[in-house]
């Protein structure tokens, strides 16, 4: 079975934002969201259950989804994807990068082309992730010209290129590098149940590489 077939499914990229009862807001990057019905306007999305934003959506039943465009910067992925809202306020120092909709939830204004706010109508525990089904309550287009970023576009154009191969004769060591965020796991063997501490992707998203010491 060639699991790389999964990479042929195209995905968008989104910043999912939510706010807890205590007013604390957070957001994370997700790559699975789609419209499921047009009457009512209903979408679904999945989010990793380990993410703080997951807890906020589950608790409040409300969220906003900002659609990342091909103008999205890597810094947006670092801010929302490579750190946990449990540890940091992801909106600190980001005053120029977001606005709040009528529901009080932030939507991202830089590198996005639309946002949709909604209320959860059903949710399903699907293992590592939770699938939320939601009615859209408000939405707007921010940029009519720039296409949405696909996951493939992110890999090819937004994510920085990895370091060059070691020079011939250089001393090297074997490490495992997360294809998603670049996190390095040191060691010859990557445990099959390993989860990236930065972006929460599993062992299948790691590649074995030789780096110079």
Which residues form the interface with Fe ion (CB under 5 A)? Answer: 178, 180-181, 183, 196, 198-199
Question: CA of 155: how far to CAs of 70, 126, 161, in Å?
Answer: 12, 26, 9
Nearest CA among 185, 188, 187, 207 for reference residue 196: 185
Distance of alpha carbon 19 from alpha carbon 199, whole angstroms: 21
Adjacency order of strands within the sheet including 62-68 = 25-30, 14-19, 62-68, 112-125, 129-141, 41-48, 33-38
CB atoms < 10 A from the CB of 55, how many?
18
- Give me the least distance between CB of 199 and Fe ion, in Å please: 3
Q: Quick one: 105 or 149, whose CB is closer to Fe ion?
A: 149
- Residue closer to Fe ion (CB basis): 141 or 184: 184
Q: Reduce the DSSP state of residue 106 to 3 states and report it.
A: strand
Nearer to Fe ion, 13 or 180 (CB): 180
Q: 144 or 193, CB closer to Fe ion? A: 193
Residue 8 CB, shortest distance to Fe ion, in Å, is 22
Nearer to Fe ion, 56 or 181 (CB): 181
CB of 78 to Fe ion, least distance (A): 11
Distance (Å, whole) CA 12 – CA 126? 20
Nearest approach in angstroms of CB 178 to Fe ion is 3
| Nearest approach, Cβ of residue 183 and Fe ion (Å) | 4
Burial of 13 (0-12, 13-18, 19+ CB in 10 A): buried
| Whole-angstrom distance, CA of residue 106 vs CA of residue 161 | 30
Q: Which is nearer to Fe ion, 63 or 82 (CB)?
A: 82
């Amino acid at each position: 079975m060639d699991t790389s077939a999964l990479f042929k499914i195209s995905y968008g990229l989104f910043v999912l934002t939510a706010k807890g009862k205590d007013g604390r807001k957070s957001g994370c990057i997700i790559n699975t969201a789609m419209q499921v019905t047009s009457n009512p306007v209903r979408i679904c999305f999945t989010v990793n259950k380990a993410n703080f934003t997951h807890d906020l959506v589950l608790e409040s039943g409300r969220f906003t989804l900002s659609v990342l465009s091909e103008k999205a910067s890597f810094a947006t992925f670092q801010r929302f994807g490579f750190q946990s809202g449990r540890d940091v306020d992801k909106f600190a120092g980001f005053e120029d990068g977001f606005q709040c909709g009528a529901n009080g939830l932030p939507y991202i204004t830089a590198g996005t082309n639309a946002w949709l706010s909604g209320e959860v109508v059903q949710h399903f525990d699907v293992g590592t992730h939770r699938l939320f089904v939601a009615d859209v309550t408000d939405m707007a287009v921010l940029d009519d010209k720039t296409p949405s970023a696909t996951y493939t576009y992110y890999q090819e154009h937004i994510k920085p290129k990895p370091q060059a191969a070691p020079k011939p004769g250089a001393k090297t060591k074997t490490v495992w590098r997360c294809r998603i965020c670049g996190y390095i796991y040191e060691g010859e063997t990557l445990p099959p149940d390993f989860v990236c501490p930065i972006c929460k992707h599993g062992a299948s998203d790691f590649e074995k590489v030789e780096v110079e010491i």
